[in-house]
Amino acid sequence: MDTITIKDKGSFFIGGHKHILGGLPVSTVRYASDGVVSKMDPNGEYQVGQMYVQYTRLAVPRCPYPVLLCHGGGMTGAAWETTPDGRPGWELLLLRRGFDVFVSDSVERGRASWARYPEINPGPPVFKTYKNVWEGFRFGPSYPEVYPGLQFPTEYMDTFMKQEVPRWTTSGGWTQIAFNEYLSAMKGGCILISHSAGCLYAECAAARCPENVKASILLEPAHLPFGTEENVSIQSSIPHLCLWGDYIGTKYQPLPAWTEESYYKRTPEYFEALQQHGGDAQIIDLPKIGIHGNSHMLMMDRNNVEVLNTVLEWLKLKLH
The phi-psi region of residue 145 (left if phi > 0; otherwise alpha if psi is between -120 and 50; otherwise beta) is beta
Residue 1 lies in a domain: no
Split at pLDDT 50, 70, 90, the class of 129 is very high
* DSSP state, residue 157: H
Domain count, the chain: 1
- Please report, for the domain that includes residue 206, its CATH number: 3.40.50.1820
Q: What is the pLDDT of residues 220-259, one digit of tens each?
A: 999 998 765 667 888 999 999 999 999 999 889 789 999 9
Residues near 5 by beta carbon (within 8 Å), at least 6 away in sequence = 58, 59, 60
The three-state secondary structure class of 304 is helix
Residue 50 lies in a domain: yes
Give the per-residue pLDDT at 253.
79
The rounded mean pLDDT for the chain is 95
Give the per-residue pLDDT at 229.
61
Split at pLDDT 50, 70, 90, the class of 269 is very high
Give the per-residue pLDDT at 320.
67
The three-state secondary structure class of 314 is helix
Residues 294, 245 contacting (CB under 8 angstroms): yes
Parent domain of 182 = 6-318
Residue 212 lies in a domain: yes
Residue 233 lies in a domain: yes
Residue 82 lies in a domain: yes
Residue 175 lies in a domain: yes
* Neighbour count for residue 187 (Cβ, 10 Å): 9
**2 pLDDT exceeds 90?**
no
Q: What is the pLDDT of residues 258-267, one digit of tens each?
A: 999 999 999 9
Residue 158 lies in a domain: yes
Split at pLDDT 50, 70, 90, the class of 162 is very high
Q: What is the pTM of this model?
A: 0.96
Residue 11 lies in a domain: yes
* Neighbour count for residue 47 (Cβ, 10 Å): 12
